[in-house]
Amino acid sequence: VPGRDEDLDALTRRLDRQVLHSWSAQASLDPLVIAGGAGSRVWDHAGRTLLDLSSQLVNTNLGHQHPAVVAGIKAQADVLTTAAPANAVLVRGRAAQAVLRHAPEGFAKVFFTNAGADANENAIRMARLVTGRDKVVSHYRSYHGNTGAAIVATGDWRRMPNEYARGHVHVFGPYLYRSEFWATSPQEESERALRHLRRTIEAEGPGTIAAILLESIPGTAGVLVPPPGYLAGVGALAREHGIVLILDEVMAGFGRAGDWFAHTADGVAADLVTFAKGVNSGYVPAGGVLVSEPIAAAFDDRVFPGGLTYSGHPLAMASIVATIEAMEREGIVEHAAAIGADVLGPGLAALAERHGVVGEVRGRGVFWAVELVADRTTREPLPASAMGALKKDLVARGVLPMVAENRLHVVPPCVITPDEAREGLAIIDDALAAL
């Protein structure tokens, strides 16, 4: 329940000056205070409530403070708060079982990590070990996390100041609205992006490439839902050349795109799948790698040279078990798919009709991007100043938004109700009108 303490907000802001914040110059920061939350809403100490259309960093899929998950973490804390990864711990096995229950066929084991970046880091390591090759091919329009190889596999601006890992090659993926391939239909975009990937693999030397690492739906880059045939084509190319296919489901998985794993509808079989965020709604830091049978077997008699003190941390594992069980019990994944199909999809399409500033709307489930343009014909992105003003205005109107470049990402918790989704759409409508 929100409180009414302005002083605590001031204290929070003052103490926060000792915190070095991610991805930003520190001097001009003015972070929002978050004191509490429930479901799709958060509030500060003074009781100012916001509808969270960001899911924080697109991770609170189950919403804030789900009672069953909080209870699961508390119950585990009473029994065993920590254990070294070398031990067998009941809750760890149960977490692996819960994740594998929803994995596509062919996955045998889970390697648990602290988050999404180190899940990708370890998936890349596994691919290099089983192929004896070095290179990793990924998309320019991607984010894979902020550790050694993951940040260099990343394609966006965050890679450039951090390029210390070797063996990374980037390609353009499909993005019909701003096609790199002069394509005019999803099919053309898919075929041409696949040709570009094939030619890159040939030019780099297929025998030098350990892995293709892709987000199944590139998220931070703009919710770029791949056109039909693209992921299946990537899978075929990987198989043809003995390349390990790693699909990054860190953002797209666990209900976000209206499915447990977003790529299952694409007719592609990955060798490794990375996850984090929605697996436990971020209540305790956790991530992992789903390992297919042959890759798991490769480490039966050979040492897997990787590990983390907190791999499979009991509190994280308890939060995973409780999250997945709550999602099953409450039909959360189906709910997210329905919210996308019945409310957010049609609602955002209506906004695109009403506001000339909307260039394109794309997504599914509770995973949407609204691309804003200064000019619909030239598709010139709306400038940063206008995006900043929009963000400020949305907060003033009671929505916690996620803004990335010239896009508004509409990514609420999977548990958002139809009424809350309509409330969010109405506020976006007003803010776009004011813009």
How far is the C-alpha of 191 from the C-alpha of 182, rounded, in Å? 12
Applying the rule CB under 6 A, the residues between 385 and 404 that interact with ligand PLP are: none
Between 172 and 275, name the residue whose CB sits nearer to ligand PLP.
275
Among positions 171, 225, 251, 332, the unique one binding ligand PLP when judged by CB under 6 A: 251
CA distance 269 to 282: 27
Least distance CB 398 / ligand PLP (angstroms) = 25
Facing residues of 139 across strands?
171
Residues 205-234 interacting with ligand PLP (rule: CB under 6 A):
215, 219-220
Contact present, 45 and 9 (Cβ < 8 Å) = yes
Number of other residues whose CB lies within 10 A of the CB of residue 350: 13
Residues 7-66 within binding reach of ligand PLP (CB under 6 A): 57
d(CA 237, CA 260): 25
Please, what is the minimum distance in Å from the beta carbon of residue 346 to ligand PLP?
26
Contacts with ligand PLP: how many residues (CB under 6 A)?
16
Nearer to ligand PLP, 115 or 322 (CB): 115
Smaller CB distance to ligand PLP: residue 54 or 431?
54
Of the residues 53, 73, 117, 390, which one makes contact with ligand PLP according to CB under 6 A: 117
Q: Which runs of E-coded beta strand occur in 114-223?
A: 135-139, 168-171, 209-215
Q: How many residues can be counted in the chain?
A: 435
The yes or no reply on residue 363 touching ligand PLP (CB under 6 A) is: no
| Closest chain position to ligand PLP (CB) | 116
CB of 274 to ligand PLP, least distance (A): 7
Nearest approach, Cβ of residue 156 and ligand PLP (Å): 11
Site for ligand PLP in 262-291 (CB under 6 A): 276, 287
Please give the C-alpha separations between residue 424 and each of 69, 295, 419, 429, in angstroms, as whole numbers: 26, 44, 9, 9
The correct pick among 39, 63, 72, 116 for binding ligand PLP (CB under 6 A) is 116
C-alpha span between 428 and 394 (Å, rounded) = 7
Residue span binding ligand PLP (CB under 6 A) among the ranges 247-255, 261-269, 380-388, 391-399: 247-255
CA 51-54-56 angle, 5° bins = 100
Q: 342: which DSSP letter?
A: I
Residue 99's alpha-carbon distances to 89, 290, 422, in angstroms, are 16, 8, 32
Answer yes or no whether residue 250 interacts with ligand PLP by CB under 6 A. yes
Among 115, 269, 272, 343, binds ligand PLP (CB under 6 A): 115
Residue 185: CB atoms within 10 A of its CB come to 11
Q: What angle do CA 126, 242, 118 make, to 5 degrees?
A: 20
Instruction: Report the residue from 133, 144, 263, 313 that binds ligand PLP according to the rule CB under 6 A.
Output: 144
- Under DSSP, is residue 377 helix (H, G, I), strand (E, B) or coil? coil
| Residues near ligand PLP, by CB under 6 A | 57, 115-117, 120, 143-145, 215, 219-220, 248, 250-251, 276, 287
